[in-house]
Amino acid sequence: MTKLTLFGEDRGTWYPVSINKLETYLGKYIEQGHGYVHVTQLKKDLAYNLQYLQFQDRVVQDIKLSSVLYTQSIKTIVLIGTSIIESILHFILIRTDNYKTTEWAEKDVFKGNQEKLNGEDVRIDTVIYKKLDTKIQKHMTFDSMIKCANSKKLLGKSKLMYEKLETLRSLRNRVHLQVTDNRSGTDWTTFYAKNIDETYMVLYSIMVSSLFSPNREEKDYFSYMLNRYGT
């Protein structure tokens, strides 16, 4: 197995799958003409992040890290992997006409007066909407995209797939370091090696699915995701 090499070392240098190969592969499904505007940018950013994910995998394999750095490396893999999953799911929903749309846009808001309702101070505002000539996309959260994909079985019928997506969604929210909810614990007590396995299980299933119909060589692009760290 070729490992990461340092400058000055006299052995073969490790390189991840090339951006060109990843872009070409992604283009088998992510293509123009399906209602998604920035297809080229999406393919490039997905390719960049897939390549960086493969690099991070080599880091945790080849470098002796402190326990804190190892945990943070797990977090990096989970966050990058989940962002890739979310972006591909976003495209799938648009391509399959399952992304939410609306024909109404907010035009104005009239603030009401403060009143009492059931003993509480409230204010009732009036929102004016205008009807659009054509429907526009309505923002969907990652949570709502997962629920839609599950109901339509857009990522297959495996119950485990959608359960793991929910786990990854929760972990992905820790990209925010400030505590904005009632979550407990820290990165140190939240991220474990098994989370790499969960990320790879979902992402590998998507990347080698019938969406992309990979040949043997293309499947090998993602063979590192078959590694298991939580056992």
- Tens of pLDDT, residue by residue over 28-48, are 999 998 889 899 999 999 999
Counting beta carbons within 10 angstroms of the beta carbon of residue 225, is it exposed (0 to 12), middle (13 to 18) or buried (19 or more)? buried
Mean pLDDT of 194-218: 96
Kindly report, residue by residue over 80-99, the tens digit of the pLDDT.
999 999 999 999 999 999 99
Q: How far is C-alpha 62 from the geometric centre of its chain's CA atoms?
A: 25
Question: Are the beta carbons of 49 and 41 closer than 8 angstroms?
Answer: no
pLDDT band at 175 (very low <50, low <70, confident <90, very high): confident
- Reduced to 3 states, what is the DSSP secondary structure of residue 76? helix
Task: State how far the Cα of 75 lies from the Cα of 89, in Å rounded to an integer.
Answer: 21
Tell me the pTM.
Answer: 0.88
Q: String of b and e for 203-220 (b: at least 16 CB within 10 Å)? A: bbbbbbeebbebeeebee
pLDDT at site 5: 74
Q: What percent of the chain shows pLDDT beyond 90?
A: 72
